[in-house]
């Protein structure tokens, strides 16, 4: 799927956000992920329309789907497909508790809830999306316009949508050399915790990614 430079940035940011906030949260027993929207942040509250592909309409996480959203008076149709190549076949994740106890988990591939795609009729667009707990992701329309979508706490239908420029993200690339310091700092801001406690997380992606990071729990 061709992407512009902004699309590549979207992929880095989106995957970091979705994987480390949601997959690690599920695996390590987080009870909730706080939203990142403050009352002062320009945002809208919408009800996205999600429609699964006819061939997989009965699946919890269909292989293909269509998402309809509205942002700043514009209607967008997003076509997504499940990202089957996101995790390496032998992906594992090891969490270390404060007492130093290692907890290694494997991905349940049947519950893969990560998607990627495009905005229909917008060639330069790029989308990364998670359906693990509501709809959460990054929708890049062009080089200078992208939106963050995330669930409204306490609602099964309503979601926040806002320009990604209002979300603070780490500067620089998302290569392994930046993973530990920048992802940790970013997650601290996203969760809004003033006194976080850290778990050491080692990610094994084979040729995809191998590295360790302190993840805030």
Q: Measuring CA to CA, which residue among 58, 62, 54, 59 is closest to residue 84? A: 62
Residues 6 or more apart in contact with residue 183 via CB below 8 angstroms: 16, 20, 170, 174, 213
CA distance 158 to 160: 7
Chain position carrying tokens 């209607």:
75
Whether residue 35 contacts residue 46, with contact meaning beta carbons closer than 8 Å, is answered with no
Whether residue 105 contacts residue 95, with contact meaning beta carbons closer than 8 Å, is answered with yes
pLDDT digit string (tens) for 10-24?
A: 445 554 555 545 554
Determine the pLDDT at residue 140.
93
Per DSSP, the three-state class of 189 is helix
Determine the pLDDT at residue 46.
96
Which sign does the torsion angle of CA 11, 105, 133, 120 carry? positive
From first to last of its 217 residues, what are the pLDDT tens digits of the chain? 444 444 455 445 554 555 545 554 444 444 344 455 666 678 899 999 999 987 776 677 899 999 999 999 999 999 999 988 877 777 777 878 888 888 887 766 667 888 999 999 999 999 999 898 889 989 999 989 999 999 998 898 999 999 988 775 544 444 444 444 444 444 444 434 334 444 444 444 433 433 444 433 3
Tokens of 52: 């699964």
């Amino acid at each position: 799927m061709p992407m512009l430079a902004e699309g590549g940035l979207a992929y880095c940011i989106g995957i970091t956000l979705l994987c480390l906030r949601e997959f690690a949260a599920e695996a390590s027993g987080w009870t909730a992920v706080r939203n990142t929207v403050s009352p002062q942040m320009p945002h809208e509250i919408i009800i996205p329309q999600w429609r699964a592909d006819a061939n997989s309409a009965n699946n919890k996480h269909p292989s293909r789907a269509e998402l309809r959203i509205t942002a700043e008076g514009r209607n967008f149709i997003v076509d997504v497909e499940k990202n089957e190549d996101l995790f390496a076949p032998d992906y594992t994740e090891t969490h270390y508790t404060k007492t130093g106890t290692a907890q290694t988990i494997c991905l349940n591939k049947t519950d893969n809830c990560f998607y990627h795609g495009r905005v229909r009729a917008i060639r330069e667009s790029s989308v990364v999306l998670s359906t693990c707990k509501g709809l959460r992701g990054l929708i890049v329309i062009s080089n200078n316009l992208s939106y963050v979508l995330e669930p409204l706490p306490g609602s099964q239908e309503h979601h926040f949508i806002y320009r990604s420029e209002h979300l603070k993200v780490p500067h620089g690339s998302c290569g392994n050399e930046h993973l530990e310091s920048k992802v940790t700092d970013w997650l601290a801001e996203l969760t809004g915790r003033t006194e976080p406690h850290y778990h050491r997380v080692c990610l094994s992606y084979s040729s995809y990614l191998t590295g360790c990071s302190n993840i805030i729990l």
